[in-house]
Chains A and B, each alone.
Chain A
């Protein structure tokens, strides 16, 4: 027993972790918000700090198309037209006026004068054309280039057969004309996406990986720092065209931060805004009277589930896909994230197309799933466990996400029909790189957030043949079905709303029959902010849309000094501070034993 203390030091590591975690969060109460919501005028200054559990692959407007990138891009890149504040109505942004010809084929954008890029150059019509051509250049891996295939000359330019995009014309310094080959109902919505936002001349004529680190546009904020997996910081663009805006000096995103760590930082006032809650924390905050008025659900414009790569075995067999679709129990998986996830059985969210009149959708029915397995030639007997698919299928999910938890539940569901999956957990950049590559990932987590409030956004970019590419394919299932393509094409073209409704219904029917995705749930985020954050409410279309946010600096200052003074809460009106009951806080530390 001579030196037992020294020798067993390492064993305290696990206990230290457990004790640290307990001391940090062992309470079914949440702390009160920091500061109070004071009735003050909008003001400039302050830094808004937030975080995400995911990493960021790129901030290049032409290629970055995930939810987090889109949120940051909405600060860096202004577009010709955009959604109004908390509205689905499209309003001019960089364009002063927009004129659409009667036949719906010609869009004339007249630019505002005096709009400056972050590099100080003035925005001209030629910059708009250059930026659009850069996005669709043959060497640019634009994930949704097919969205814009109606622009005259798009395909020949994309294929490298034309030196320029004929359908985008410059008339003088301030007029841009976009011509379409066919009328398209969603086209004006597409012009709100960052893909076609004007970018600085430094972006070059085609995609350059380095541009992501020095992203440059005309938005209210310019990129100051982008450290992969660490932080993104944008600071105010002093030459912004909208006088007096933006209010904030800077916005910071900490990347790859676990929800648990985010909550601790948020409670301590080290984050001003957060939304990556786990189910328990979310429930605690939502039911807390102290936080009433400082949180709101984001509009559930999402659909999620499992994609199955139709070009890879065993999912090249539609019966296997249908079996998977029938086997997944939607009611069970949403219990893992109660409140945030709701069962969902079709591509288009209820907020856009309500499920009425026996609307076509997928369904959970294990006996049907077993029958489909039999039809696929993989009959499985649940009693004996014999049969099914011999090989283990790799399922790709995002590390430390709801998708990971869902995958663990799906694994149990699929085992009931003789489909064994092995879960590969990867980071967000790896996930994007792999699932978008042809014949690489057999199945995995699928999810889509509306780009605009119209059903085609849930079909065209993720399930049509046009969305398939060898690299950077947005159609993860590599699903190609001519009838489906035709239905979507005609729905986009038609001006008859009842015909459009019928066509989208047919598209849903095809998804239910062919099951390139097993749609399982819709996910919605609960967003929370400290009282000194003003001017933010979840946008009906855009995720984490922060350009109009501002900080009550005095309130924030009091809150921060309160935190330094170990205050619990700042009293209204003045810099007085209510003392908090003492709660020791231990640093989370891993203690690893001697070798």
Chain B
């Protein structure tokens, strides 16, 4: 699957490299920052965190970025939020891509065959899924499940975002399925599953990777929106969306509480989108 030409194309794309740098910096921040700041993200510091008139203090030696409305270290919470956001984004994307690829492959391979009914059923299901307002669907599921945990968020995000992927992979599968080497494999008696996994899947991997990288960015946004709307992970878990929500109360005196998580969401999303864009360009043979 590794194509040196694609790698060269990716390397020469400055936007893509910049995206990789942003993502790498974010990953380093998520891993190292809690150790650097030395604060528990959920612990209030009533000793050093309370400033004049009872307001949370700004950046200081004890708290490099200051503290939030409950006097908790902002840097630690941002880093913890990065861990939560990245973890949720990656795993939810994996779920979404896996389900989308499976449905897309099955549907595309069944299209026009005696198993046409499978394709019709799956695509109508996808139509229904796409017709629901995404956030409303996510919030409704979240409310119905009741208790919100990381697992709930992962399942909700992962299982409501694969519809578009399935559509793309189906189209690509239909295209690849009619190529000569697939026809040859079938003529030689190879069964369906090996054909799908060994021959078709590698040939639809390009779009799948591109979708996945863009999906990570969208998952970060979706998780933040859920937290912002107070239907995400319960407090005191630090997530960027929740921090944005909590910070808005203090915006008059501590705008950093809004700027910091907003900026991180922006950086994360733009980073993953740039990587996705670069991958798409690199994996597209027409670029040569």
Q: In the complex, how many angstroms separate the beta carbon of B244 from the nearest chain A beta carbon? A: 6
Q: Is the CB of B15 within 8 A of A335?
A: no
A335 to B56, CA, bound (A): 10
Q: In the complex, how many angstroms separate the beta carbon of B96 from the nearest chain A beta carbon? A: 10
Q: In the complex, how many angstroms separate the beta carbon of A78 from the nearest chain B beta carbon? A: 38
Q: In the complex, how many angstroms separate the beta carbon of A10 from the nearest chain B beta carbon? A: 5
Q: Is A290 part of the binding interface, using a Cβ–Cβ cutoff of 8 Å?
A: no
A27 to B253, CA, bound (A): 7
Q: Is A206 part of the binding interface, using a Cβ–Cβ cutoff of 8 Å?
A: no
Q: Is B69 part of the binding interface, using a Cβ–Cβ cutoff of 8 Å?
A: yes
User: Do A593 and B217 contact each other (CB < 8 Å), given the known contacts A412-B43, A424-B234?
Assistant: yes
Q: Is the CB of A18 within 8 A of B244?
A: yes
Q: Is the CB of A423 within 8 A of B235?
A: yes
Q: Is the CB of B70 within 8 A of A21?
A: no
A175 to B71, CA, bound (A): 60
Q: Which of A338, A339, A423 contacts B234 (CB 8 A)?
A: A423
User: Do A11 and B273 contact each other (CB < 8 Å), given the known contacts A280-B249, A425-B235?
Assistant: yes
Q: Is the CB of A412 within 8 A of B269?
A: no
Q: Is the CB of B163 within 8 A of A14?
A: no
Contacts of A593 in B (CB 8 A): 217-218, 221-222, 269
A408 to B230, CA, bound (A): 15
Contacts of A422 in B (CB 8 A): 234
A3 to B280, CA, bound (A): 11
Interface string of A3-30 (1 = CB under 8 A from B): 1100110111111011101101111100
Q: Is the CB of A278 within 8 A of B222?
A: no
Q: In the complex, how many angstroms separate the beta carbon of A328 from the nearest chain B beta carbon? A: 13
User: Do A2 and B281 contact each other (CB < 8 Å), given the known contacts A18-B259, A22-B258?
Assistant: yes
Question: What size tier do the contact residues of chain A reach?
Answer: 35 or more
Closest A residue to B72 by CB, please name it.
Answer: A408
Closest A residue to B15 by CB, please name it.
Answer: A1
Q: Is B61 part of the binding interface, using a Cβ–Cβ cutoff of 8 Å?
A: no
Question: What size tier do the contact residues of chain B reach?
Answer: 35 or more
Closest A residue to B248 by CB, please name it.
Answer: A21
A2 to B221, CA, bound (A): 22
Q: Is the CB of A594 within 8 A of B218?
A: yes
Q: Is the CB of B235 within 8 A of A15?
A: no
Closest A residue to B40 by CB, please name it.
Answer: A412
Interface string of A418-448 (1 = CB under 8 A from B): 0000111100000000000000000000000
**A-contacting 9-mer, from B27-35, B46-54, B174-182, B191-199:** B46-54
Q: Is the CB of A1 within 8 A of B277?
A: yes
Q: Is the CB of A26 within 8 A of B251?
A: yes
Q: Is the CB of B240 within 8 A of A14?
A: yes
Q: Is A336 part of the binding interface, using a Cβ–Cβ cutoff of 8 Å?
A: yes
Q: In the complex, how many angstroms separate the beta carbon of A450 from the nearest chain B beta carbon? A: 27
A419 to B90, CA, bound (A): 33
Contacts of A21 in B (CB 8 A): 244, 247-248, 251, 258
Q: Is the CB of B234 within 8 A of A14?
A: no
Q: Which of A4, A7, A10, A332 contacts B46 (CB 8 A)?
A: A332
Q: Is the CB of B277 within 8 A of A4?
A: yes
Contacts of A411 in B (CB 8 A): 42, 236
Q: Is B274 part of the binding interface, using a Cβ–Cβ cutoff of 8 Å?
A: yes
Q: In the complex, how many angstroms separate the beta carbon of B25 from the nearest chain A beta carbon? A: 16
A12 to B44, CA, bound (A): 31
Q: Is the CB of A259 within 8 A of B249?
A: yes
Contacts of A24 in B (CB 8 A): 251
Contacts of A281 in B (CB 8 A): 249, 252
Q: Is the CB of A592 within 8 A of B251?
A: no
A594 to B248, CA, bound (A): 25
Q: Is B83 part of the binding interface, using a Cβ–Cβ cutoff of 8 Å?
A: no
**B-contacting 9-mer, from A189-197, A299-307, A397-405:** A397-405
Q: Is A351 part of the binding interface, using a Cβ–Cβ cutoff of 8 Å?
A: no
Q: Is A260 part of the binding interface, using a Cβ–Cβ cutoff of 8 Å?
A: yes
Interface string of B216-241 (1 = CB under 8 A from A): 01100110110010100011100010
Q: Is A283 part of the binding interface, using a Cβ–Cβ cutoff of 8 Å?
A: yes
Q: Which of A22, A404, A412 contacts B42 (CB 8 A)?
A: A412
Q: Is the CB of A27 within 8 A of B252?
A: yes
Q: Which of B53, B70, B244, B248 contacts A25 (CB 8 A)?
A: B248
Q: Is A352 part of the binding interface, using a Cβ–Cβ cutoff of 8 Å?
A: no
Q: Is the CB of A15 within 8 A of B263?
A: yes
Q: In the complex, how many angstroms separate the beta carbon of A442 from the nearest chain B beta carbon? A: 15
Q: Is B62 part of the binding interface, using a Cβ–Cβ cutoff of 8 Å?
A: no
Contacts of B281 in A (CB 8 A): 1-2
Contacts of B43 in A (CB 8 A): 412
Q: Is the CB of A592 within 8 A of B221?
A: yes
Interface string of A382-424 (1 = CB under 8 A from B): 0000000000000000011000110111011000000000111
Q: Is B122 part of the binding interface, using a Cβ–Cβ cutoff of 8 Å?
A: no
A14 to B134, CA, bound (A): 17
Q: Is A98 part of the binding interface, using a Cβ–Cβ cutoff of 8 Å?
A: no
A430 to B106, CA, bound (A): 44
Q: Which of A10, A26, A27, A339 contacts B269 (CB 8 A)?
A: A10
Q: Which of A11, A27, A283 contacts B266 (CB 8 A)?
A: A11
Q: Which of B69, B251, B259, B263 contacts A336 (CB 8 A)?
A: B69
Q: Is B20 part of the binding interface, using a Cβ–Cβ cutoff of 8 Å?
A: no
Q: Is B270 part of the binding interface, using a Cβ–Cβ cutoff of 8 Å?
A: yes
Q: Is B108 part of the binding interface, using a Cβ–Cβ cutoff of 8 Å?
A: no
Q: Is the CB of A18 within 8 A of B69?
A: no
Contacts of A409 in B (CB 8 A): 44, 70
Q: In the complex, how many angstroms separate the beta carbon of B128 from the nearest chain A beta carbon? A: 14
Which residues of A (263-286) have their CB < 8 Å from a CB of B?
278-281, 283-284
Q: Which of B134, B240, B255, B263 contacts A595 (CB 8 A)?
A: B134
A493 to B164, CA, bound (A): 72
Contacts of B244 in A (CB 8 A): 14, 17-18, 21
Q: Is A90 part of the binding interface, using a Cβ–Cβ cutoff of 8 Å?
A: no
Closest A residue to B13 by CB, please name it.
Answer: A1
Q: Is the CB of A595 within 8 A of B230?
A: no
Q: In the complex, how many angstroms separate the beta carbon of B141 from the nearest chain A beta carbon? A: 15
Q: Which of B230, B240, B251, B253 contacts A425 (CB 8 A)?
A: B230
Closest A residue to B271 by CB, please name it.
Answer: A11
A424 to B234, CA, bound (A): 7
Q: Is the CB of B228 within 8 A of A17?
A: yes
Q: Is A590 part of the binding interface, using a Cβ–Cβ cutoff of 8 Å?
A: yes
A181 to B264, CA, bound (A): 68
User: Do A7 and B248 contact each other (CB < 8 Å), given the known contacts A14-B262, A424-B234, A592-B134?
Assistant: no
* 12 pairs, CB–CB < 8 Å, chain A vs chain B: A8-B269, A8-B273, A11-B266, A13-B269, A15-B263, A22-B258, A26-B252, A28-B252, A281-B252, A336-B70, A405-B70, A593-B269
Of all A-B residue pairs in the complex, the 4 with the closest CB atoms, nearest first, are: A18-B262, A11-B269, A14-B265, A338-B54
Given A4-B273, A26-B255, A280-B249, 19 extra CB contacts under 8 A: A1-B277, A2-B281, A3-B277, A4-B274, A4-B277, A8-B269, A10-B218, A12-B266, A14-B265, A18-B261, A27-B252, A280-B250, A280-B252, A281-B252, A335-B71, A338-B53, A408-B235, A411-B42, A593-B221
Q: Which residues on B are within 8 Å of A, measured CB to CB? A: 13, 15, 42-44, 46, 50, 53-55, 69-71, 134-135, 161, 163-164, 214, 217-218, 221-222, 224-225, 228, 230, 234-236, 240, 244, 247-253, 255, 258-259, 261-263, 265-266, 269-270, 273-274, 276-277, 281
Q: Which residues on A are within 8 Å of B, measured CB to CB? A: 1-4, 7-8, 10-15, 17-19, 21-22, 24-28, 259-260, 278-281, 283-284, 332, 335-336, 338-339, 399-400, 404-405, 407-409, 411-412, 422-425, 590, 592-595
